[in-house]
Amino acid sequence: MNFRLTGLVAATFTPMNGDGSLNLDRIAPMVDYLVDKGLNAVYVCGSTGEGPSMTNEERKETAAAFVSAAAGRLKVVVQVGHSCLGDARALAAHAQQIGADAVAAVAPYYFKPDSVDTLVDCLAEITAGAPQLPFYYYHIPALTGVEADLEAMLRLAAERIPTLVGIKYTATTMHEIQMLRALDGGRFDILHGRDEMLLSALAVGVRGAIGSTYNFAAPLYQRLMTAFDGGDLEEAQRCQARSVAMIREILGTGGQAGLKAAMNLLGFDCGPVRLPLRTLDAEQMSRLEQKLRRAGPFDRP
């Protein structure tokens, strides 16, 4: 299946009301903003979007709202992974029904696959629900606890999953991502998922990246990519250093909740995070805002 994502892909936040219920009306303005900033796609109901903390119905409603708001201006990738494979398959089927452009899925993360063969069996079960949509395996071992020989996985999955196009790779091992990119002459689309290491990923040939901070700092990363492509390594390093400092402040103040709270500084109220994550209190929010304001407008290069 011929499908690739290039440039920046925003791992979107799921906007919520103060009581934690969905606030889908806030999705369209965020999508308009991402289109205006030149992003190429959105990644919905992943870690950033708190997909694992949402009910299946909420995930469907959220995915549908993003597809509707994108209206063909952005590609929409829906993360459908679940500990229950039947639910994951149903979410994949729904993504195809509403007109999403692709699906992705983490491995089951409670009872974990015991081998590459079992992992591929799981992914085949999920993708059977969306036989017309390109599929990315979402590799994020820090959260799923699932490690696998990804070269072996890709080779086996390519034989059994006709919709497989690549991996969303959220880990720090650059030598592995380089190896996966080179596999079978660059057959697979390997997307990088660590914003703090975008420059490192570019250096090993990655051309597409999915991240949380691309929602509110896309121009900074676009400047980084332009500088790298133009051979200005010093400027690319400056941009990446600024990204690292920004993310350090956000995560140091509020972890995952800090990322969501940063959207408030652009005027997009995404609401609280859900337990077991902890929402920032007023003091933490004020401290984060002061730190980011001192650093300058993070939505500009």
> Are 207 and 224 within 8 A, CB to CB?
no
β-bridge mates for residue 209, sequence order: 8, 192
Q: Angle, to 10 degrees, between the axis of helix 233-262 and the axis of helix 282-295? A: 160
Strand (E) or helix (H) holding 209: strand 208-211
In the chain, count of helices (H) and strands (E)?
11, 8
Task: Say how many CA atoms lie within 13 Å of 174 toward its Cβ.
Answer: 12
The catalytic residue among 168, 169, 214, 221 is 168
Q: Decide if 291 is catalytic.
A: no
The catalytic residue among 33, 43, 138, 214 is 138
- What count of residues does the chain have? 301
Q: Decide if 136 is catalytic.
A: no
* Beta carbons within 8 Å of 28's beta carbon, 6+ residues apart: 65, 68, 69
The single-letter code of the amino acid at 130 is A
Q: How do beta strands 75-79 and 189-192 pair?
A: unpaired
> Are 163 and 134 within 8 A, CB to CB?
yes
Would you name the residues annotated as active-site residues? 138, 168
